Amino acid sequence: MRDIELYEAILGLTPPWKVAHVELNVAAKEVTIRVDAGPSPFPCPECGAVVGGYDSKFRRWRHLDTCQFVTWIEAEVPRVECPQHGVKQVRAPWAEPGSQFTALFERVAIDLLRECSVAGAADLLRISWDEAWGIKKRAVRRGLARRAVGEVKHVGVDEKAVAKGHTYLTVVADLDRGQVLYLAEGRNGASLDGFWEGLGPAGRRGIEAIAMDMWEPYIQSTRRHVPGAEEKIVFDKFHIVKHLHEAVDRVRRVEQRALKGVADDRLTGTKYLWLMRPQDMSREQRARFRELCAGGPAGSSRMGLEGAVSAVVGVPLRGGGAAVPPAVVLAGHPQSVGADGEGGVADPTSPPERAYLPTTPDHQRGVGGGERHDPMGEEDRPRVPERRALQDSHLLPLRRTRSLPTRKPVEPTI
């Protein structure tokens, strides 16, 4: 097979396109393929109508290497004058309009860009960093044009730091399909507004749950656009646990200062003991923790762990103290009370302190969750409120009694 026939077969050319000449430059390690478009008329690239030629323009494309030789395709690409669309350039069958690379070259480049960095792919392909980014952008544009979003029920919203100096992107994903639906610069309300507006009224009504952190601009944007947003927002487990840990530590610091005033240093050095998971404690740490929860050997007042929990779940403090304003209630939490209605937990039948506690939906349960073992033993369990749903589910649905919380948790009252 001659070189002309070889490259016509490789490029998949059909009449009127044909290879006119193949030139090998051994010194420069290049192969140049000259392609001829043939005589007019040519089809209009917009409507397909066959019209006469207008002029031609020289174009050059990078093709896949021939062995170790860089390969180029050159052609005088005709332009036609369409009565409906005006002067348009005929599309070359081997490349996308506006690209300086053939489709086969870009296909290989996309595979490399998925496996390594842009700089690494550019070095392997012997192209510039900007050219590699251009290939990547065109691939994303083609993918978005082909994508059919369909119905979206469960949406995840988060920000992503992309550079130094607090530069962020807003990312929206379909949690059921594991598919990114939307990207926007910044992490303000306007960044998320574009997604809701593009989804349309029907799409927004079909959403059942929106997982996000406690970032106020995202909350307000969702409330403005999604019907019943307050019943659909799901705060992620990480931030719930983070606020709970902060509340526990604040209560510990308050009681540490109070005990220090009476020369009692039992809480000194116990910060991380209150923040550890029970299954990670050593035997000595468990014994020490039981002693602290019981009030210590001197029989003094117990550590106010309930106050820390109350700051997050919004129930009154133990022992008839000042009540914390109800902020939010975690779904699935047991809110048991004693026979006398006391014990530090609000009466579940008295509105508006009682919030609706639905069962956690299947799509919000963790895969490997389940009940965790408490090394403190059954006899110690009543001393710590049974609010363990923070450890059992991946995402926690919330129901409000008042305004939605933000990243600034409610300060406990001691």
CATH of the domain at 184: 3.30.420
Last residue of a domain, one of 210, 231, 252: 231
Kindly state whether residues 32 and 123 are assigned to the same domain. yes
For tokens 């010194």, name the residue. 27
Q: Which domain holds residue 304?
A: 238-334+344-400
- d(CA 307, CA 409) in angstroms, rounded, equals 13
Structure confidence at residue 30 (pLDDT): 93
Kindly state whether residues 288 and 352 are assigned to the same domain. yes
Kindly state whether residues 124 and 97 are assigned to the same domain. yes
Structure confidence at residue 38 (pLDDT): 85
Structure confidence at residue 293 (pLDDT): 82
Q: Considering the domain boundaries, does residue 406 fall inside one?
A: no
- d(CA 291, CA 300) in angstroms, rounded, equals 11
- d(CA 78, CA 38) in angstroms, rounded, equals 9
DSSP H helices in 72-117: 103-115
Q: Considering the domain boundaries, does residue 140 fall inside one?
A: yes
Q: Specify whether the CB–CB gap between 53 and 89 falls below 8 A.
A: no
Last residue of a domain, one of 93, 114, 145: 145
Question: Sign of torsion, CA 181 182 187 192?
Answer: negative
Query: Looking at the 3D structure of the chain, how many domains does it have?
Result: 3
Kindly state whether residues 21 and 100 are assigned to the same domain. yes
Per-residue pLDDT of the chain (414 residues; tens, 9 = 90+): 588 888 888 888 888 888 988 999 999 999 999 999 888 888 888 888 888 888 888 999 999 999 889 999 999 999 988 888 889 889 888 988 888 999 999 999 999 999 999 999 999 999 999 999 999 999 988 887 887 767 889 999 999 998 788 899 999 999 988 888 888 999 999 999 999 988 888 889 999 999 998 889 999 999 999 999 989 999 888 888 888 899 999 998 998 898 888 888 888 888 988 988 888 899 999 998 888 887 644 334 444 444 444 444 443 333 333 333 333 333 333 333 333 333 333 443 433 333 333 333 444 444 444 444 443 443 333 343 333 333 333 434 444 444 445 555 445 554
Q: Considering the domain boundaries, does residue 414 fall inside one?
A: no
Last residue of a domain, one of 145, 169, 189: 145
Kindly state whether residues 107 and 183 are assigned to the same domain. no
Q: Considering the domain boundaries, does residue 55 fall inside one?
A: yes
Q: Considering the domain boundaries, does residue 22 fall inside one?
A: yes
Which DSSP helix (H) or strand (E) runs through 121?
helix 118-125
Three-state DSSP at 109 gives helix
In the DSSP assignment, the letter for residue 53 is: E
Kindly state whether residues 176 and 98 are assigned to the same domain. no
Structure confidence at residue 370 (pLDDT): 41
